[in-house]
Structure 1
């Protein structure tokens, strides 16, 4: 495939192509994924694959954008933000910890870190589709909570970033460095509880 990004064509087999590409990219990384493997996993011909995505990087970025967007949007949509702030943050923290320690979350992180040095546009696109989108959802909620007098925050973007980092404490780093891949509910609750209590100790009204 060529190196220049081109227009994405949507069509009947678009989702099928994305599903096959996701499977191969997550298992083999960007460089290790071949057109033949992606077409085989998607159950389409190479000609069909090329007709949708003439550029492999474009396909890779679309997989990342779609996955991150759906996960971030669905996670926030399932949280009742009208509840007390401690309950909302606990729900959000539980979802974040689960994602950060999931097989998909870890594979996604490893692939993008590995490829972003050689292909900076891949790293930037992942940041826009993942961390920036998650931050936007959290900032929106914190602004609502501040308007209700539940938190006192001046820099909402920084506060959102700090909350995400609190949810990555201990478990994520043990998982990403292959110290361990399995965590007990008690270990996850420890990180979740600590993230919420620490955040509210700093920003709670």
Structure 2
């Protein structure tokens, strides 16, 4: 299988194309974004656009990767490893839920699913830069919390993935099935607080409140 990095070519206007494409994707969605609109927004010709990204799916995948890495870097700077589990998990949960319910987050999931059989590299790339990276960063904190006796976890990577998935409950199925398009603060707090409570009930040390 050809890797995405073997297909995408970089050049002087590479970043310019990415910025224009991100604007169009966020405004029109993946299906509604045309190559003509992307080229116009980026201020480049279609020939230049295709020289970097021969397929619109590749362009979307690259933007998704950059966005996931950006959010991971922000979270890493915001999370204080000295803070207790409840505070850190609540912050992480809110960030996960915000991304999952964003237009961009929904679009990423849909394109990974719809294009998986024809172009599985997109899904794999998003997984590595999104869910896998989030699990890795959270696992680092969980190990610190376990070392100081705040948590008791045998399989830290698995526990991290459990927590990340808990923050999608109630919300994700409703979004994907078109049952509900938005969620208020009360609903969001219920999801995140419930995820934190459940996680700490399972993995919290006796001293954790």
TM-score of the pair, normalised by structure 1: 0.87
Q: TM-score when scaled to structure 2? A: 0.85
SS at match of 1:83: coil
Q: Is the 8 A contact 2:58 2:122 kept in 1?
A: no
1:118, distance to aligned residue in structure 2 (A) = 1.6
Q: Could you tell me how far apart the structure 1 residues matched to 2:119 and 2:75 are?
A: 29
Deviation, 1:134, is 0.9
What is the number of residues matched between the two proteins? 201
**Alpha-carbon contact 1:97-1:188 (below 8 Å) kept:** yes
Counterpart residue number, 1:46 = 46
Flag as ranges the 4+ runs of structure 1 deviating above 6 A. Answer: none
Matches within 5 A, 1:54-203: 54=54, 56-203=56-203
Q: Which residue of 1 aligns with 2:30?
A: 29
SS of 2:173's equivalent in the other structure is helix
In 1: Cα distance, 2:169 partner to 2:152 partner: 23
Residue 186 of structure 1: CA displacement? 0.9
CA drift of 1:166 comes to: 0.8
Deviations 1:166-199 (A, max 9, x none): 1011012212211111212111111111100100
Asked if 1:8 is matched to 2:43, the reply is: no
Per-residue CA deviations over 1:104-136 (Å, capped at 9, x if unaligned) read 211221122111122111111111111111111
> Which runs of 5 or more structure 1 residues have no equivalent in the other structure?
none
**What displacement does 1:34 show?**
4.5
Q: Report if aligned partners of 2:68, 2:130 keep a CA contact under 8 Å in 1.
A: yes
Q: Show structure 2 runs of 5+ residues with no match.
A: none
8 Å CA contact retained: 2:29, 2:107? no
